[in-house]
Structure 1
């Protein structure tokens, strides 16, 4: 029965996710356009996919994703999901370059190949000239495209052209995505010339993502040899990778490669913006607190690929590429003096680089007390006040409307919802083990405060949509504990105070850890 319910739950979630993705893809507007190329002496058909909030009258420029071989349905679906999840910017336009075949001619063979092998192949130079001198200026003028930050994507012979463009004019695009590229062309011509091209391009500022199929195909397509050249040359200013997909076909690699390639192309972007939640940023914790000299504490980060793109310093200077990176979810840091820790997302696209910081002071472990007499486990004592206040009132001048014990059934938001009120919870918190702890308040507690040992630890640095947290070295034992909730009519609901022991997940402080005076 449990397994059946689990299967139903998984299927329901999958269906909701699919419907969400489809809804996002339907937000996109697709336009058919064309331009006549003087260079190619022919009309070229284009498919333009706009983001939902595209505004032709805006002053902002739109980054462009140029797709060779037009735009397949899976591209628009993946593109929309990547935007929704915050892996790529929302203000992007996708341009699909079609490949018409008049009179039976294969335009891909002509346009994407750098040398002539049969028929009308070998037109890559002309096609690159068309892209650079006609297509990009046309898109920039008509659709407010940007000259910077653009992406070129292609598979198979399209991937060959992607690499050809990168080697011959790397500054034309910020990012290049070549999926199962046909590097075998003309006896592996591009691989043979790649080393010299890389040597001649001393200044690079690009990402290059190459994906193929694991096994013999990786070698036969010429990807293994190109990977070897890139490893040997290690081009400065190029963020690149070659990936071999397992159990994929020549065509299915495009599905995975498009998704992975765009995420790679915008490495570091996720840390700077967030997806459907605009509040999601670098998201390090804690942001403030007391630490012990030379006793390491954990700085936690919830961003993807933090160990690649998030660099930090502990001396208050701005991080650079030579600064250490955050080691995945948690990084152990030790300090010898009061310090400002700065974290910076650093990707190829510097316009998306962002900073976050935390400040820590060197101090001592907060002293606990023995278990007080006449205390009762199971929650703090609460006193509830009402009034027409705009800020936390002087409670000495007010009498509580209601008092009691905030036990497991207590909900501060159910006392009232249509009045301004304050609710003060007092008593003790019991810490079972000596170590570092983080106290946290989330969104909704904008005007609230938390005290430990009569010292205010939360409420001075609250940031809306982000909350507040404070790191403390605590002994095992009891601490006087007070929460001062303040709620204004119309604000978000108050939320519990959370505790995070080092090395463990945070949790809402349970009533089992809280004690009140047994009155």
Structure 2
């Protein structure tokens, strides 16, 4: 008996099963289905036709309240879809499950570094904020029942930086703002403008939640090749605890509830899932920790 031949046959016969198992493991809840949410996809192009956005919409299976669903807009939507966990969605039934609008790009992977840098940072962030306010939000409000008094904007890393930029630019656009691991070092003007702020528009209230991992750092600024020596100096001047300092300053402003939390043992990448879980519960009106 040729045992080598038999072993080879067994191994190669098992490969399709292994591949199928891995494929199943890598599929998102939008593909496999959820007992608590159903998913739809919308596509949206920028006005100039150069940018192609993918909106993955998570709709609670529970019917909306008379005022509509709370709505949570999530940046880096491709990765947000990939990170969603069924037991997280199950927890939301104890509160008011939000409509989830995961704003990504029409790509195969989870990240597009060039597009997210363009949309979330620098002078071009203003154009993306306009897309969000004048194209994406009206589209969602026209197709789904949403409570416009309970809107959350969530982002991580460059996405967290954009959340803070949008807060300073259009503070009435959302009622709840969640900035995770915001890369304030990359765009010093956002930190500087935030620390110089003395008040938001009167007559409105807002909640700002900022979180970061204990093991997070930032790239060596001396090696940064994305700008001038002056820009590198400005980036270096942003303190390492900028997220905490900004949150503490925002908390002193009228009609603003702002807080900061550091998560022990978490690095930058791990904070995506941690902050996503926290944000989902917060948007549902639940305590952040189950």
| TM-score after normalising by structure 2 | 0.70
C-alpha separation in 1, matches of 2:216 and 2:113? 31
C-alpha separation in 2, matches of 1:61 and 1:51? 11
Deviations 1:355-407 (A, max 9, x none): xxxxxxxxxxxxxxxxxxxxxxxxxxxxxxxxxxxxxxxxxxxxxxxxxxxxx
C-alpha separation in 1, matches of 2:246 and 2:58? 36
C-alpha deviation, 1:83, in angstroms: 0.9
Task: Tell me which of 56, 60, 67 is aligned to 1:51.
Answer: 60
Match of 2:181 in 1: 180
Greater CA radius of gyration, 1 or 2? Answer: 1
C-alpha deviation, 1:200, in angstroms: 4.9
Match of 1:65 in 2: 72
Tell me how many residue pairs correspond in the alignment. 236
Deviations 1:47-97 (A, max 9, x none): 111111357xx965222111111133333536413313x2x413x211111
Q: Does 1:38 align with 2:47?
A: yes
- 1:61-460 equivalences in 2 (<5 Å): 61-70=68-77, 71-77=80-86, 79-84=88-93, 86=94, 88-90=95-97, 92-100=98-106, 106-113=114-121, 115=122, 122-186=123-187, 188-214=188-214, 217=217, 224-232=241-249, 234-264=252-282, 269-270=285-286
Cα RMSD of the aligned pairs, angstroms, is 3.3
* CA 31–200 in structure 1, closer or farther in 2 if over 3 Å, else same: closer
C-alpha deviation, 1:28, in angstroms: 1.7
SS at match of 2:166: helix
C-alpha separation in 2, matches of 1:229 and 1:142? 36
* CA 140–222 in structure 1, closer or farther in 2 if over 3 Å, else same: farther
> Which structure is richer in relative contact order (CA contacts within 8 A, separation 6 or more)?
2
C-alpha separation in 1, matches of 2:257 and 2:211? 14
Match of 1:479 in 2: none
C-alpha deviation, 1:125, in angstroms: 0.2
Contact map agreement 1:31 1:47 (CA 8 A) in 2 = yes
* CA 270–109 in structure 1, closer or farther in 2 if over 3 Å, else same: closer
Contact map agreement 2:216 2:266 (CA 8 A) in 1 = no
SS at match of 1:72: helix
Match of 1:410 in 2: none
Contact map agreement 1:212 1:218 (CA 8 A) in 2 = no
C-alpha separation in 1, matches of 2:177 and 2:170? 11
Contact map agreement 1:64 1:151 (CA 8 A) in 2 = yes
* CA 195–265 in structure 1, closer or farther in 2 if over 3 Å, else same: farther
C-alpha deviation, 1:98, in angstroms: 0.9
C-alpha separation in 2, matches of 1:218 and 1:207? 26
C-alpha separation in 1, matches of 2:117 and 2:281? 29
Contact map agreement 1:108 1:157 (CA 8 A) in 2 = yes
Contact map agreement 1:67 1:154 (CA 8 A) in 2 = yes
Deviations 1:322-341 (A, max 9, x none): xxxxxxxxxxxxxxxxxxxx
SS at match of 1:207: strand
Contact map agreement 1:204 1:236 (CA 8 A) in 2 = no
Deviations 1:166-221 (A, max 9, x none): 111121111111111111113x2211111334435455411111111226639988
* CA 270–160 in structure 1, closer or farther in 2 if over 3 Å, else same: closer
SS at match of 1:171: coil
Select the structure that is richer in strand: 1
C-alpha deviation, 1:246, in angstroms: 1.2
SS at match of 1:165: helix
| TM-score after normalising by structure 1 | 0.41
Match of 1:19 in 2: none
SS at match of 2:266: coil
